[in-house]
Each structure stands twice: as structure tokens, then as C-alpha cells.
Chains A and B, each alone.
Chain A
């Protein structure tokens, strides 16, 4: 069993000191901020390494940071074998919201990434089937963005009052 601090130390030995940072909010567990370019390699390592064995992606969520003009993806990982947890975050600019897909590493990510694309518009690179999961295919925009403006009509039906 490892704590997030110990996991970061272990990862630093493998990936170098200055790539990953541990961040902490006012409450809750700390998270590791990961550059988007290395999320797939890191995920593969987290899953396969004998001291980490994160075999379960509990949740993958999309975020929109309005002020920073960034989109985020949060990965909550759990190891059922070693019973430890870690949270990863990736942040990308709104203009180029491309994050490598981890669908090939955890199958859970398939639908979760589709939801993150549907709701906040994160583009998951190399996802095998990146299309909307909840909203209809011809919907305009990503509704959980903070600056979302609803379309007035959908297929001729008014969406407002």
C-alpha cells in the first residue's frame, strides 16, 4: 500500500524529477498533475508495474476551467490488488483540447471518455469510437462548459419555455 506522496516519489524515479507535480486542494486527497503528452505512458506504467498495479480506473471526468481557459481530465485510480488509490489530472488549453486516450489501457475509459467529449468537449486522441454518448449526434456544443449557450431550437422544437 502506497500513499500518493510515495507514488509520486516512485514515479519520479522512473520518469524524471520535473515532469510530475503533486497538488493539493483545501480538502480531500492530493492529486498528481500530469502533462497531457505523457498520460498514456504513465497510465501503462501505473497499471503494469508490480509495485503499483492500478488495475482499475474508477472514474474519468471532464472539467472546464473558465478563467484559465483550460479543459481538464481527472483520473481516479484504484489498485484492487494492493488497495491504494491515486488521482491524476491533466489540463489542456480550450483551443487545443487533445488528450491521449487511455481506452487501450483501461476499457472503462471508453464510455467515460465519450462522456467527457460529449459534455465538455475534450478530444481523446486515438479513441476508437469518439462520438456523443448521451446527447443526440446532431446536438450543437458541449453543455457542461461554463460558457455554454443553448441552441434555441433542436430539430424545430423549441428548447426554451
Chain B
């Protein structure tokens, strides 16, 4: 727990709201799916390497979508790949998040007009939580994307509010 270490030596009980404990756990162990689609993957690898060190945020790669919490769509999504991306997303267990990294997966990037083979934004097949602009984005930008995602997770709630209880639950 970092800054809380060694402050509670007389007791092993900490009282905390369930929601904040859940959110705290989720946002600090964002395991991402280990795959890259284009040059953005190089920046993603650089972010994971020792200089920028993803691991200090608890962000580590997993090789199976079933163990992953977040999918980084790092690169150009071709039409051939789009259905595979969709399948990978469906295989992830909830709660699941998507970071769209770079111009290509945000909106088609340089292929937006004449790229017959490129999907014009990965949000056409799966819901996206955070968009990281850049071509490719620097590691700092991707880290910022993760910090934004952490912010988003902090605000999540497990409680259904009264006026929302009658509404149908949202399905992805």
C-alpha cells in the first residue's frame, strides 16, 4: 500500500469503503493484453521497458485476454484484424477497459481517406475508454493515457442509484 506502510503496527484492521478499496485495487493492477499492431507497439514496448517502466504503476503484460484487464490497441487496425480485435475483446473478463493508442486506431490516421484496408477507428468495433493521440504517441503520452484511465476507474461505483435502478443495465 505504499505510503500506508508501517503506520498500523498495533492492528491489522483497516476500515475502508468497499468501493474505494475495489477501485484502488483495480486501478493499480491494470494488466494489459500483450499485442501490438504497428509502429505504436514499439513505443508501447519502450514504455514497458526500464526507462519508463510501466511496472511501477502495476501495469504488466499478460499473454491471454482472459487474464487481462485492459487492451491497448497499439497501431493500425486493418479490416482483416478488426474481427479478431472484437473476438479478443469478447474474451476478456469484466471489468475490461480499452485504450486506443495512436492516430490509426483513433480514427484511421494517415489511412483515413484512401486506406481501403484500414478500419477508420477501433471504436467502430469495440468501446474505447481512453484515446491517446500521436503518431506514434511517446511513452509519456501512453502513461498519461493510463493515468486518465486510473482517474476514470477511481470514479466508478458499484452502487446503482435510485433513479437509475429502473433503467436497463448497459451492455457492451
CB distance from B86 to the nearest CB of A (A): 8
Stretch from A26-34, A97-105, A152-160 forming part of the interface with B: A152-160
- Report how far A159 CA is from B83 CA in the complex, Å: 12
CB distance from B77 to the nearest CB of A (A): 10
Q: Which positions 141-161 of chain A face chain B at CB distance < 8 Å?
A: 143, 148, 150, 154-155, 157-161
CB contact between B125 and one of A157, A160, A161 (< 8 Å): that residue: A157
The answer to whether B152 has its CB under 8 Å from any CB of chain A is: no
Number of residue pairs spanning A and B whose beta carbons lie under 8 angstroms apart? 28
The answer to whether A136 has its CB under 8 Å from any CB of chain B is: yes
The answer to whether A66 has its CB under 8 Å from any CB of chain B is: no
The answer to whether A135 has its CB under 8 Å from any CB of chain B is: yes
Enumerate chain A residues within 8 angstroms of B125, measured Cβ to Cβ: 157
Task: Please give the number of chain B residues whose Cβ is less than 8 angstroms from any Cβ of chain A in the complex.
Answer: 12
The answer to whether B45 has its CB under 8 Å from any CB of chain A is: no
CB distance from B89 to the nearest CB of A (A): 13
Q: A154-B79, A155-B83 are in contact. Are A135 and B117 (CB under 8 A)?
A: yes
- Report how far A155 CA is from B124 CA in the complex, Å: 13
CB contact between A157 and one of B79, B108, B112 (< 8 Å): that residue: B79
Contact B112 A159 (CB under 8 A): no
Contact B108 A159 (CB under 8 A): no
Contact A160 B82 (CB under 8 A): no
Enumerate chain B residues within 8 angstroms of A136, measured Cβ to Cβ: 79-80
- Report how far A135 CA is from B112 CA in the complex, Å: 18
Q: 1/0 per position for B115-129, CB-CB distance to A under 8 A?
A: 011011000110000
- Report how far A157 CA is from B117 CA in the complex, Å: 12
CB distance from A145 to the nearest CB of B (A): 11
Q: A158-B124, A161-B112 are in contact. Are A135 and B82 (CB under 8 A)?
A: no
Contact A157 B120 (CB under 8 A): no
* Best-surrounded residue of B79, B80, B83, B119 (most CB of chain A within 10 A): B79
Q: Which residues of A contact B (CB under 8 A)?
A: 135-136, 143, 148, 150, 154-155, 157-161
8 intermolecular pairs with C-beta atoms under 8 Å apart: A136-B79, A136-B80, A143-B117, A148-B116, A157-B82, A157-B119, A158-B120, A161-B120
Q: Which residues of B contact A (CB under 8 A)?
A: 79-80, 82-83, 108, 112, 116-117, 119-120, 124-125
| Contacts A154-B82, A157-B79 supplied; 19 other A-B pairs, CB < 8 Å | A135-B80, A136-B79, A136-B80, A143-B116, A143-B117, A150-B116, A154-B79, A155-B82, A155-B83, A157-B82, A157-B83, A158-B120, A159-B79, A159-B116, A159-B119, A159-B120, A161-B108, A161-B112, A161-B120
